Amino acid sequence: MYKKIILAVMAMAMILQAPSPAAQGKNEQEMTKQSRQLMSKADKAMKNKEYDSALSLFQQVIDAQPELALAHMGKGVALRIQEKFEEAVQSFEKAIELKPDYQQAKQALAETLIFAGNKFGTEKQLEKANAHYLKWLELQGINKDPKVEVQVHYTMGVNYLNLKDAVKSAETFQKLINQPNLQKDFSQIYAVSHYMLGLGLGQMNKYEEAQENLIKYLELSQSDPANPFAPLANYMIGSSAYLALDEEVEKINTEIRGLNGELEKINNDSKIKDEDKIKSAKPVQDKIAEAQKRKAGLAVEKTGRIVPYLTKAIEGRADLEDAYVKLGNFYYLCEDWSGALKIYQTIMEKFPSSPDRSTYEKFMKTIEEKVKGKTQ
């Protein structure tokens, strides 16, 4: 109801400011006597809040004189009050097409695009919302409030993220962050945009860039001890670092499996003498040892981006189940069997109803066997 009151007040202002038929510009079609009478009735209906009647009267004028920009403008205003935003946009666009210097119609179009974007966003029609916001951004020839422009970019980026379009989300937030004076004039949005950009880059598997933006966000928001996004930011940093490490380790493991295959062929080749097998196997064994060393070095190198951040995430939000899982898996990857076992015992204790409980139980048995093997 409150929104409709606002729209009605804005519409009334538009009608009061609208050029009279006698004051039409050179680009405006000459209005007939009948159209003048209909427009006068439509204006009266609008003032009396009889919007259906006004729409009918504006449409009669358009049917008689389709090139009359003023009639399309009036129709758009009536449609907007009724929150028929898409139809209103079409009417305002038609008015501008007929009269390119129609500044009032341009302003009405701009305002309606924002109303439409907000409405569709509330209704979770995010693609429609962004289509209207994008059209607003592309609109030329009007003065745009910098605050609104920043908010539009931010909302579009969030919408793209919710639509699982990480590429467009990242592009939108990167453009927003790059805007001059954003950090100075809109410090909070500047900070949170780094967080959102980090999320998008993480979904794109651009782990290093994701981590840098999330760390930047934490640096910018460290003065807020109650920051609700901090645990998730810490989780995303640690998680993306672990996933990046896991990818690199898997490449090395694939390399090692191939080398082990070569060793097996050498050992199973009956044509090669035993002493020659030892010589042939030595270079392969050296490559395996070098690969294992690289794998261990990677784990040490990434520890600072994984353990501290996942630990902070857990401290900030004890319900982040996957933070525990990633931490336990990291210890396992580092062959810290005791550390991995301790984390998985905590997982079993804290998340008794987890749908992955059976998987955790099986993995725990594997870890327990590793622990036993180490102590024997």
Task: Give the pLDDT confidence of 275-316 residue by residue, as tens digits.
Answer: 888 888 899 999 999 999 999 898 889 899 999 999 999 999
Mean pLDDT for the stretch of residues 21-33: 58
Contacts of 69 (CB under 8 A, 6+ apart): 27, 28, 29, 94, 95, 96, 98, 99, 102, 105
The total of structural domains in the chain comes to 2
Classify residue 202: in a domain, yes or no.
no
pLDDT band for position 222 (cuts 50, 70, 90): confident
Q: What CATH number does the domain containing 360 carry?
A: 1.25.40
Classify residue 33: in a domain, yes or no.
yes
pLDDT band for position 141 (cuts 50, 70, 90): confident
Classify residue 1: in a domain, yes or no.
yes
Two structure tokens written together for 282: 């030595």
Classify residue 328: in a domain, yes or no.
yes
3-state secondary structure 317-369: CCCCHHHHHHHHHHHHHCCCHHHHHHHHHHHHHHCCCCCCHHHHHHHHHHHHH
The dihedral through the CA atoms of 164, 119, 191, 235 has a sign that is: negative
Q: Is pLDDT at 238 greater than 90 in this prediction? A: yes
Q: 49, 82, 107 — which closes off a domain?
A: 107
Two structure tokens written together for 140: 């030329």
- What's the domain range around 39? 1-107
Number of H helices, E strands in the chain: 17, 0
Two structure tokens written together for 25: 């510009």
Classify residue 126: in a domain, yes or no.
no
Ranges of beta strands (E only) in 229-324 are none
Classify residue 204: in a domain, yes or no.
no
Report the pLDDT value the prediction gives residue 374, as an integer from 0 to 100: 66
Classify residue 78: in a domain, yes or no.
yes
Q: How many residues does the chain have?
A: 376
* Residues 101, 235 within the same domain: no
Q: What CATH number does the domain containing 11 carry?
A: 1.25.40.10
Two structure tokens written together for 266: 């050498």
* Residue 330 one-letter amino acid: F
What is the C-alpha separation between 224 and 244, in angstroms, rounded?
29
Q: 55, 85, 107 — which closes off a domain?
A: 107
Q: 59, 74, 107 — which closes off a domain?
A: 107
Report the pLDDT value the prediction gives residue 225, as an integer from 0 to 100: 73
Q: Is pLDDT at 51 greater than 70 in this prediction? A: yes
What is the C-alpha separation between 74 and 54, in angstroms, rounded?
8
Classify residue 113: in a domain, yes or no.
no
Report the pLDDT value the prediction gives residue 375, as an integer from 0 to 100: 60
